[in-house]
Amino acid sequence: MDTPDQKHLDRILNITFHPVFIVGDHRSGTTLLYQLLADTGCFHVVTAYHVIEYDEILNNHLNGSQDRAKSELAERFIRLGLTDRIIDGVRVTPDLPEEYGFIIDPENNRPQLTPATLPRFVEMCRKIEFAAGDSKPLLLKNPWDVLRFREIHESFPEARFIFIHRHPEAIINSQVRAIRSSLEKKNDYIALIAPWYRKLFRQPLRLAVAKILFSSKWPFWKRMTPRHICKVADYYLANIGAVPKAKYISVRYEDLCTDPDEAIGGILRFLEVEPKSVASYRDFIEPRAPKILPEVQENFRTIRSRLAPFLRHHRYE
């Protein structure tokens, strides 16, 4: 099907981009880190506007209608009563940094950068770079690719990576809470950017099964979520050695919250970029201890020994 951008695609064939990937599991702090780095003005980022209006990015830019399109999107958010993302309280705007997975494989609830999605990923990067009108590193995040960073490095050997880690117990707790929240009541923002989620609420049987899987009254999530956490830990330890040390930097979510100025400053120095203005990142963070669900505490004790190498590697034990 032809889109408004289709006739302009030949104009971006020679556009180059310089990717910087934020790599971390869901609920590990990737959103906070993405926002803090985006606010420095040093990067181009994928935004809610890019996700929702993907097929019109070039057309709007070339016709001078990008600002109007963003204003219309902002009004759409208002009509829907969208002020924040609900699951984390992040304010919703057209310029909200978002995950590229929603663009490269929108029908998949686990989108990853693979050989099959690579062409659309490259097209997306070129579109964003072209419409931005200047040259900056392209900052990217998609939590599902926490299990593919080695393959991404092989596809983009010059890319740089920012790994963010969080204590696995806190990640499990936050993932379970977020999933339960998004299943209990339709999240209109997620429905806008994720077709698979929108369809889920049109299929009562599938929705009911999903609710059961993550209910506190049933044990299914106690196998599913911890298994994923262990898989992520194993993949990291097995593959981080394949990425040259000069190509990546790591930060713990806990350290980012404790001393954001030092953490962000270290990342900017690593990437050799200068923010447009000097700011204190502490103003953007509200430190709070996570309220760990009792069932998560009990469940984590069963996999703590399994995660011991990962916990030691990141100084959690």
The full set of domains in the chain, from first to last, is: 6-313 (3.40.50.300)
pLDDT tens string 199-222: 999 999 999 999 999 998 888 899
| 83-97, 223-237, 275-289: segment of lowest average pLDDT | 275-289
H or E stretch at 75: helix 66-79
pLDDT tens string 231-259: 999 999 999 999 999 999 999 999 999 99
Task: Quote the pTM value.
Answer: 0.94
Is pLDDT of 283 > 90?
no
Q: What is the pLDDT of residue 89?
A: 65
Q: Is 106 helix (H, G, I), strand (E, B) or coil?
A: coil
The mean predicted confidence, pLDDT, of the chain is: 94
Long-range contacts of 50-56 (CB under 8 A, 24+ apart): 50/98, 50/103, 50/124, 50/127, 50/128, 51/98, 51/102, 51/103, 51/193, 52/192, 52/193, 54/103, 54/124, 54/127, 55/3, 55/4, 55/5, 56/3, 56/4, 56/5
Is pLDDT of 167 > 90?
yes
Is pLDDT of 134 > 90?
no
| Mean pLDDT to the nearest integer, 264-288 | 84
**Rounded (to 5) percent helix, strand, coil in the chain:** 55, 10, 35
Look at phi and psi of residue 171 and say left if phi exceeds 0, alpha if psi is from -120 to 50, else beta.
Answer: alpha
Can you tell me the distance from the alpha carbon of 50 to that of 40, in angstroms, rounded to the nearest whole number? 19
| Mean pLDDT to the nearest integer, 94-102 | 96
Q: What is the pLDDT of residue 278?
A: 65
What interhelical angle do 204-213 and 168-184 show, nearest 10?
Answer: 150
H or E stretch at 171: helix 168-184
